[in-house]
């Protein structure tokens, strides 16, 4: 596919989020483009030029749909990038990228802390099924990273801030090490979002985002995106992973996420501010054992985060309570404003315990192994959120 159109290049991200990818409806003049629920499209009269594995022609839903394409235009613009591919989930986007880039015998390097499905893919699937050499490393330790990324390494994948510990990885430094060894760098940018961080500007080759989270922002649709300036590889991803594996996004989900994305910069601005305030409040509490939030000067990655996160530090706070797993559950269940559920980046605040029996707990820094909670700050009044946390802490005797 050709480079995505970006009529609002150079405009502020708030303006781009409103105007990119939208237009008058050609048939009716409506100021909103329609939701196209169709799984087939009229074919051209002359079929001799049609490539049935291509995404260029609208012909069948798995080859692409108009709502997907308009959302792709917007995501490319939000990252000042040439191209974006939107698929059915964040994990589908991660898989599509890895599936296209890696083959038997290749070596790749991944972080010791990452989204669960990334850990699964490299800890037990790509290595065992396809004999890809997958090397786990602490990405916050640049010396260890230099050892792990050997010449001929195909791919380096990082996540910053990472899920669930909020660790910070230096994107520019890892990009330099990766490129020196002939590897490409992909960055999971879900926690930061393009409002706070644009990895392509820092040297990354591919960005992956779960647009289920901040871009959609309303807890009602699932989607994932790959964003890049490497048009040739992006076309390979469309061919190898979208059309021939099939993880395309439904038009309805693309339509919902497109709608959510309009207000995304405003929501991020509010969430950045509220999360900073709440992180500082948590840090002042006696029975809070640690607060991992990149906006706090106590965070070991704060200086790096300040360098690469331009507008703020996102809405996820990882923190610990000086208590056991059962009391953490009681704390989460006692909240009235904050919702006790997985996921992050919704309008509502969400809380999710990371129990001490989690199979990956030994991979996290020591303090995270007891009373660890992942908290996603929402759009509610920050004082209401603080009061809610306070009353639930009192309820469990902290
Ligand atoms: C949620 C999440 C994903 C996966 O997205 P889904 O839409 O749930 O598949 C990937 N990476 C990170 C960092 C996430 O938080």
Among protein residues, the one whose CA lies closest to atom 4 of ligand 1:
90
For residue 284, the enclosing domain spans 264-395
Bond prior to 152 in cis (omega within 30° of 0)? no
Would you state the pLDDT for residue 94? 98
Shared-domain flag, residues 255 and 131: yes
C-alpha to C-alpha distance for 87 and 193, rounded to whole angstroms: 17
DSSP lists the bridge partners of residue 84 as 227
Q: What is the pLDDT of residues 114-140, one digit of tens each?
A: 999 999 999 999 999 999 999 999 999
Would you state the pLDDT for residue 49? 87
> What is the Cα 380 distance to its own chain's centre?
22
The number of C-alpha atoms within 13 Å of 337 and in the hemisphere containing its C-beta is 20
- Arithmetic mean of pLDDT, 246-269: 98
Q: Is residue 191 part of a domain?
A: yes
Q: Which residues line ligand 1 (CB under 6 A)?
A: 89-91, 115, 159, 163, 188, 190-191, 210, 212-213, 222, 224
Task: Judge contact between 208 and 229, C-beta under 8 A.
Answer: no
Q: Considering 243, 261, 279, which residue would you say is the last residue of a domain? A: 261
C-alpha to C-alpha distance for 105 and 121, rounded to whole angstroms: 16
318: buried, middle or exposed (CB in 10 Å: 19+, 13-18, 0-12)?
buried
Q: Please, which pLDDT band fits residue 2 given cuts at 50, 70 and 90?
A: confident
- Arithmetic mean of pLDDT, 227-239: 98
Would you state the pLDDT for residue 230? 98
Shared-domain flag, residues 382 and 235: no
Ligand 1: residue of 210, 315, 352, 374 to mutate (most ligand atoms within 8 A of CB) is 210
Shared-domain flag, residues 243 and 353: no
From the CA of 90, how far away is ligand 1's center (Å)? 5
Q: Considering 219, 242, 261, which residue would you say is the last residue of a domain? A: 261
Would you state the pLDDT for residue 19? 96
Would you state the pLDDT for residue 220? 97
Closest to 335 measured CA to CA, from 351, 356, 316, 359: 351
Q: Considering 261, 286, 315, which residue would you say is the last residue of a domain? A: 261
Would you state the pLDDT for residue 5? 84
Q: Is residue 8 part of a domain?
A: no
Would you state the pLDDT for residue 91? 98
3-state secondary structure 185-220: EEEECCCCHHHHCCHHHHCCCEEEEECCCCCCCCCC
Task: Judge contact between 142 and 170, C-beta under 8 A.
Answer: yes
- Arithmetic mean of pLDDT, 154-158: 98
Q: What is the pLDDT of residues 186-217, one digit of tens each?
A: 999 999 999 999 999 999 999 999 999 999 99
Q: Please, which pLDDT band fits residue 261 given cuts at 50, 70 and 90?
A: very high
Shared-domain flag, residues 338 and 229: no
> What is the Cα 145 distance to its own chain's centre?
22
Residue written as token pair 């083959």: 103
Q: Catalogue the E-assigned strands of 67-211.
A: 83-87, 107-111, 133-137, 155-159, 184-188, 206-210
Q: What is the pLDDT of residues 52-75, one digit of tens each?
A: 888 989 999 999 999 999 999 999
Residue 149 pLDDT > 80, yes or no?
yes
Determine if residue 249 is left, alpha or beta; phi over 0 gives left, psi from -120 to 50 gives alpha, anything else beta: beta
Would you state the pLDDT for residue 53? 87
Task: Judge contact between 150 and 132, C-beta under 8 A.
Answer: no
- Arithmetic mean of pLDDT, 350-367: 95
Q: Is the pTM of this model over 0.85?
A: yes
C-alpha to C-alpha distance for 314 and 163, rounded to whole angstroms: 12
From the CA of 303, how far away is ligand 1's center (Å)? 26
Would you state the pLDDT for residue 369? 96
Q: Is residue 5 part of a domain?
A: no
214: buried, middle or exposed (CB in 10 Å: 19+, 13-18, 0-12)?
buried
Cα of first residue to Cα of last residue in the chain, in angstroms, is 57
| Mean of the per-residue pLDDT values of the chain | 97
- Arithmetic mean of pLDDT, 88-113: 98
- Arithmetic mean of pLDDT, 235-251: 97
C-alpha to C-alpha distance for 88 and 65, rounded to whole angstroms: 12
Shared-domain flag, residues 268 and 257: no
Closest atom of ligand 1 to CA, residue 91:
9
Q: Is residue 3 part of a domain?
A: no
Shared-domain flag, residues 275 and 321: yes
Would you state the pLDDT for residue 89? 98
Shared-domain flag, residues 27 and 45: yes
From the CA of 91, how far away is ligand 1's center (Å)? 6
Say how many domains are in the chain: 2
């Amino acid at each position: 596919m050709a480079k995505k159109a970006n009529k609002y290049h150079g405009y502020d991200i708030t303006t781009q989020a409103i105007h990119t990818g939208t237009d008058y409806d050609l048939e009716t003049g409506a100021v909103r483009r329609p939701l196209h629920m169709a799984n087939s499209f009229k074919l051209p009269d002359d079929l001799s030029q049609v490539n049935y594995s291509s995404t260029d022609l609208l012909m069948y839903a798995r080859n692409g749909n108009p709502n997907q394409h308009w959302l792709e235009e917007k995501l490319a613009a939000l990252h000042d990038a040439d191209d974006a591919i939107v698929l059915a989930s964040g994990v589908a986007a991660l898989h599509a990228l890895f599936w296209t880039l890696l083959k038997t015998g290749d070596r790749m390097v991944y972080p010791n802390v990452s989204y669960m499905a990334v850990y699964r893919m490299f800890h037990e699937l790509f290595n065992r099924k396809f004999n890809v050499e997958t090397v786990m490393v602490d990405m916050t330790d640049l010396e260890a990273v230099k050892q792990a990324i050997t010449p001929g390494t195909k791919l380096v994948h990082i996540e910053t801030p990472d899920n669930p510990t909020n660790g910070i990885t230096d994107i520019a430094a890892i990009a330099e090490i990766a490129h020196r060894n002939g590897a490409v760098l992909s960055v999971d940018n879900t926690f930061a979002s393009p409002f706070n961080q644009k990895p392509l500007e820092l040297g990354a080759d591919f960005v992956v985002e779960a647009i289920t989270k901040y871009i959609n922002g309303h807890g009602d649709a699932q989607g994932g995106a790959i964003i890049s300036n490497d048009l040739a590889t992006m076309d390979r991803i469309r061919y190898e992973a979208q059309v021939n594996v099939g993880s395309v996004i439904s038009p309805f989900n693309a339509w919902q996420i497109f709608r959510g994305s309009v207000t995304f910069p405003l929501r991020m601005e509010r969430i950045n501010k509220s999360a900073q305030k709440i992180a500082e409040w948590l840090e002042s509490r006696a029975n809070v054992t640690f607060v991992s939030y990149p906006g706090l000067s106590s965070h070991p990655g704060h200086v790096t985060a300040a360098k690469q996160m331009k507008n703020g530090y996102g809405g996820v706070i990882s923190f610990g309570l000086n208590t056991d797993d059962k009391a953490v559950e009681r704390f989460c269940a006692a909240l009235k404003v904050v919702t006790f559920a997985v996921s992050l980046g919704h309008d509502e605040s969400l809380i999710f315990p990371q129990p001490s029996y989690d199979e990956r707990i030994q991979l996290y820094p020591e303090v995270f192994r007891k009373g660890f909670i992942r908290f996603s700050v929402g759009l509610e009044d920050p004082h209401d959120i603080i009061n809610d946390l306070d009353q639930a802490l009192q309820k469990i005797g902290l």
